[in-house]
Chains A and B, each alone.
Chain A
Amino acid sequence: MGFVENMIKKSRLKSPWIVHFDCGSCNGCDIEVLACLTPMYDVERFGVVNTGNPKHADVLLVTGTVNHRNRHVLKQIYEQMPEPKAVVSIGACNLSGGVFKDSYNILNGAHTVIPVDVFVPGCPPKPEAIIDGVVTALNALAAKMGLGPAPGAALMPGDEDAPKAAAVG
């Protein structure tokens, strides 16, 4: 790997461009994604730029329920993004269908259509959680470039005790 190539890879990680696609969200997750960009949270100070063009993007943020019509659009957007790319799935509906799971028009989550790297649960997740999800996605991106280990499944607070509790129970 040449020095210049390495530099480019490293700098890509320092300024990830994101594209946001709303599959069929109730807007709760969308406005929280947008809130990340506004003065209170302001992710632009970390070099994160929201772009409308999937061909310019490194990270895809997906929100909302995936249904039979928009899954084609989701797949198209994912395929248009240049390699390497990472996908962050945001919100309960996008993870599993959420409260709409039993409905007739719903697929159970974005991961049934495209490969997802990071899941951010919540209904809707707070902006802090979304920013954390993007940062975790950058680690996944680094791993895809061969710059580091892939992030393991993150432990939630209290998870460390879970095996012990099971053993006791």
Chain B
Amino acid sequence: MNILTKLAVGASATAMIASAAAAEVSDGKVKIGVLTDMSSTYSDLAGNGAVVAAEMAIADFGGTVAGAPIELISADHQNKADIAANKARQWGDSEEVDVFAELVTTSVALAVFEIAKQQNKIALVSGAASSPLTSDACIPTGLHWTYNTRALAVGTGSAVVKEGGDTWYFLTADYAFGESLERDVAAVVEAEGGQVLGSIKHPFPSSDFSSFVLQAQASGAKVVGLANAGADTVNAIKAANEFGLVAAGQSIAALLTFITDIHALGLETAQGIQLTTGFYWNLNDETRAWSARFNEQTGTMPTMVQAGVYSSVMHYLKAVEAAGTDDTDTVLAKMREMPVNDFFATNGQVRSDGRMVHDMYLARVKSPAESTGPWDYYDIVRTIPGEEAFGPLSESNCPTK
């Protein structure tokens, strides 16, 4: 056989497999389950906005995929892994849900991963941060879409060192997430030739940061890294502002900050903070158009988590359409094969370890004078290429990669 015949045989075999796989959509519908935090700490950055984003993706797709209607179901997991596991299992067992989306906080994502693995369903993680979701804790059907702690560390850490912020002091939330974030960032800072002068752990959650901020100030470090999240970050920044930390020449690197946090703080307090984000509404015409539509429904601008939910659901639906079936393995193969191209990501790529690699952005929060309108909060300082942010595939310890 010459090469041409081989190719022809291969192609027809592939076509046969493809037509066999294009069986049907199971249960006559594609059902998306959005599991998010509607009432607790993360309801601002995910919550209802994440459900709206998923609804928008379904509406934009036209409401049907591969000839079958698309349904959406959502639930509040209250940041509790057991509630999340219970819901996800129920959805998979008796509600014919094909895909789980959003899944903020790592404990929830890990719990749902366990269910998704058992039931062979796809999990689209947007809100959870931990890098191990696509490394030690990965599952074949779990995709991590928006960001992770490694990207935050590389993004903010190396950028800040390159700009001359070569001495660091950490304010770290005293639990696993804070510690791992500090560790990741410290490694990046030292690799870039910077120096970590010290760190202090604060209880989680904490409301009084005065003593911690004073120690950070006394350390003489050029950069104070906040390895915490949510209300802790907001409180730490407020305290830093009261003690004039930024005014005295130190800068704050808030390692995990969402635009809703900045909105809560106000520019007066938050100005000058550097952060890494997977999405900013005011990047280009496409992001502005989508965000304006989002704003009409929710009254806020989308966080990267919410935009990521739209993107991940959209990509899933495109893959189902292209595959002609909602069979998990076929759809997964399609999702990996097709590049992610939408307002959220350009040429994003779903890797075999489940990581969606896309460009991240290093941003600096504007001063009130620089801001020209509501929600005009960030100056995008640098675009961080996906490969640099998320690291090469060889770095992942995922056994099924």
Asked if A pairs with B, the answer is no
